[in-house]
Amino acid sequence: MPSRLPILSLLLAVPPCWAEVPEFDRPGISFPTSTIPVGGFAIEQGLPDLSYDSGSGLRSTQYGFDTVVRVGAAAHAELQLITALYNRLDQHDTSGSHHADGSGDTGVALKLGLPGNDGRRSMAFLGSLMFPTGDTEFSEGKPTVSLGTSASFALGDQQALSLYANVDHNDGRNTWTLSPDVSFELSDTVGAFVEAGATLARGDDDYVGGGGFTWLVLPNVQLDVYADLGLTAKSTDLQSGFGVSVYFE
């Protein structure tokens, strides 16, 4: 496994003062409607995210050190670079164990917020193109085009409801993801959310529910932890992880 020290050193190299920090996309199924201001950028790093599933005598755990770099490109618009430099897969069944590690696919994305967004309701769109650059166990094998939208509605001074929809297109197949979530501001630096998610893929459907917490440990540094549990026998048993996000201006 490559050393994480250079990445962590970069994330913790913070300037002395900051304007208001935009919302980070981590964690959760959905994404917030705010965008990175022009001249700013953010790094969001999983440390790691994991997925665990068991069924038909097979237990599988995958760890992913996903990285997203977000750059403010224009008013209400940002560019994103998406990659996973390291992943690990552990599988166990009656015949023995299998382990693999390697990099994941790499992609680019464009996020657009509607100019009329305000503090009570807002909407944004996110389109991405992922290239099959990863190792076999961690790649989709062919390019994936995705288009998603997220809408947010204030429920009060400290709560908000978000609705998310996304479609992935890969090798002639569409996969839909739908998710509502409710977020809570617990203090000036701590937030929480609960969410549910449905991934619809021609009979290979996945239904999960859970939530997580965020903690702004510095004015521009956020830690997060989350967990989603499978809601049906065929759903992924656990999707969980923690990470760090840093904003630079």
Residue range 120-133, pLDDT digits in tens: 899 999 999 999 99
Whole-structure pTM value: 0.88
**Residue 143 CA to chain centroid, in angstroms?**
19
Please check whether residue 170 is in contact with residue 143, taking contact to mean a CB–CB distance below 8 angstroms: yes
Asked whether residue 56 carries a pLDDT value surpassing 90, the answer given is: no
Q: Are strands 206-218 and 96-102 parallel, antiparallel or unpaired?
A: unpaired
pLDDT averaged over every residue in the chain: 91
Asked whether residue 164 carries a pLDDT value surpassing 80, the answer given is: yes
Q: For the chain, percent helix, then strand, then coil, each to nearest 5?
A: 5, 65, 35
According to CATH, the topology of domain 5-10+24-248 is: Lipocalin (2.40.128)
pLDDT at 59: 95
As a whole number of angstroms, the distance between CA 37 and CA 39 comes to: 6
Asked whether residue 241 carries a pLDDT value surpassing 90, the answer given is: yes
Asked whether residue 12 carries a pLDDT value surpassing 80, the answer given is: no
Locate the domains of the chain by residue range.
Answer: 5-10+24-248
pLDDT digits (tens, 9 = 90+) for 18-54: 457 889 999 999 999 999 999 999 999 999 999 999 9
Is residue 42 packed enough to be buried (19+ CB in 10 Å), middle (13-18) or exposed (0-12)? Answer: buried
Which residues are paired to 57 by β-bridges?
A: none
